[in-house]
Amino acid sequence: MIETLNHLPRPSASTDQLAEAFSDLAPALTARQAAVESARCLYCYDAPCINACPSEIDIPSFIHRISDENLQGAAERILSANILGGSCARVCPTEILCQQACVRNNAQECAPVLIGQLQRYALDNAGFTEHPFTRSPGTGKRIAVVGAGPAGLSCAHRLALHGHEVVIFEAQDKAGGLNEYGIARYKLADDYAQREVQFLLSVGGIEIRHGQRLGANLALGELREQFDAVFLGLGLNAVRQLGLADEHAPGLLAATDYIRELRQSDDLSQLPLAPRCLVIGAGNTAIDMAVQMSRLGAHDVNLVYRRGAADMGATDHEQAIAKADQVRLHTWARPETVLLDERGQVRGMRLARTTLREGRLVDTGESFELAADAIFKAIGQGFDAASLGDPTAAQLARDGERIRVDAQLRTSLPGVYAGGDCTTLGQDLTVQAVQHGKLAAEAIHAQLMLNVEAA
């Protein structure tokens, strides 16, 4: 349990009511709906939806297979490009990626093809009795993957397909990374993240060692000595701070900490509930936090952002979810002071009004207060520099706080690759991390095989 919130009440809703509140955000398509929707695809020769997909899934091809009732073929086409296609179908912002690029996305057509929901339909109904891909003969090469998040899992799977042996070193008790610990429960329901991990591992050749944290009980220098190559899929684990006094008072914590607790809870009725909830931030994590607190039973949920709605990191789709769950969005407001009660616990926050002046964000001189039983920070996550604390890791070139990589995901250290949110390459999206892992695996495989030929 999160100790800083122990003084708060628990949800009054029944277990059944809470289960309903956290059921699937988007109900799965029926067979009839999938048939009708797949028939809308024009199977474009130069499909813009493929170019808009970070993992380069052949979208017209898998949709055509759905239309032909070949669900296994559709699923295999998806998984060959994105082995975590099931979770990506649920959490990927398709409304600003493939579906935005769909040629039917115009005023005359009314709506794009529902690519994400068709992808989910194919994977949920393929009915595989065994892993659809077969490993190549063993190469005798061993690769270390640090981090069992989307990037690390994707990299490990592709390397295993090529016949390499892979050991994943993971700090947490479960594999999955963001999918397991950081996504709203109603987006990945019914323990889907773990079921997808088990499916991925069934290809063989992958071992996961838990409780292994780079910079603590794991050193990059030792990994380079023991393995033929290393992939770093470290993610962003450091919580950004507001820089205010009383930031660590009871009732104020990172949104990611609460979401992690919520996702791992077997009994939502035992979670601390903030009847009056304040979330600071404007990205998808902020939306996830606010909506989940509302669904737990909070009657007053406010989300605060220092700029305007047009600058919010959360998509229009995510903002619409928040508004549908009675979350109030306050823009042009900056956290100024944490307000405490006589017991030293959070009772609210004073916020300064902001505006743009000559292109710079400044205070207007006005302020207002919002009451809150708890305040959740969702202002972004940073790279945990402690993970690169050993002498070898400290040599990695960085762009700001993140690891510098080239187009083949190679770091400045020979034999060491990196991908996902710990790099500056691409967008901080699950689907992008999957693509990084896949591309890094191909680069690692090519280099290792080149070395074999040279020998």
**Residue-level pLDDT at 1:** 55
DSSP state of 54: T
Note whether residue 61 is domain-resident. yes
| CB neighbour list of residue 246: distance below 8 Å, 6 or more residues apart | 252, 338, 340
Give the pLDDT of residue 426: 81
- Cβ(349)–Cβ(337) below 8 Å: yes
- Do 291 and 376 lie in a common domain? yes
Residue that wins the pLDDT comparison between 129 and 31: 31
Report whether pLDDT(455) > 60: no
* Residue 454: predicted pLDDT: 63
Q: What is the pLDDT of residues 386-424, one digit of tens each?
A: 899 899 999 999 998 899 999 999 999 999 999 999 998
Per cent of the chain over pLDDT 70 is: 99
Q: Do 340 and 387 share a domain, yes or no?
A: no
Q: In what order do the strands lie in the sheet with 333-340?
A: 333-340, 346-357, 360-371
Cα-based distances in Å from 287 to 247, 315, 373:
21, 10, 18
Give the per-residue pLDDT at 321: 95
How high is the pLDDT of residue 383? 87
Stretch 100-121: mean pLDDT, rounded? Answer: 94
For residue 423, what are the domain limits? 142-237+383-454
pLDDT digits (tens, 9 = 90+) for 319-337: 999 999 999 999 999 999 9
How far is the CA of 244 from the CAs of 239, 248, 335, 401, in angstroms? 14, 9, 8, 22
Q: Is residue 14 part of a domain?
A: no
Closest among 15, 6, 5, 7 to 296, alpha carbons compared: 15
Percent of the chain with pLDDT over 90: 90
In a domain, 435, yes or no: yes
pLDDT given at position 139: 96
Same domain for 373 and 249? yes
**Do 366 and 392 fall within a single domain?**
no
Residue 280 has pLDDT above 70, yes or no: yes
Are both 207 and 247 inside the same structural domain?
no
**pLDDT tens for residues 130-176?**
899 999 999 999 999 999 999 999 999 999 999 999 999 999 999 99
Q: Are residues 255 and 224 in the same domain?
A: no
Last residue of a domain, one of 364, 381, 398: 381
Among 349, 381, 413, the domain-final residue is 381
pLDDT of residue 183: 94
67: CATH: 1.10.1060.10
Q: What is the mean pLDDT of residues 428-434?
A: 93
CA 412 to chain centre: 26
User: How much is the pLDDT for 453?
Assistant: 64
**Residue 27: per-residue pLDDT:** 86
- Cα–Cα dist 86/154, whole Å: 13
Q: What are phi and psi of 348, to 5 degrees?
A: 160, -165
Q: What is the DSSP string of 201-219?
A: HTTSSEEEEES--BTTTB-
Q: Are 333 and 393 contained in the same domain?
A: no
In this structure, is residue 176 part of a structural domain? Answer: yes
pLDDT in tens, 181-204: 999 999 999 999 999 999 999 999
Please tell me whether residues 146 and 224 are part of one structural domain: yes
Looking at the 3D structure of the chain, how many domains does it have? 3
- Based on DSSP, count helices (H) and strands (E) in the chain, helices before strands: 16, 17
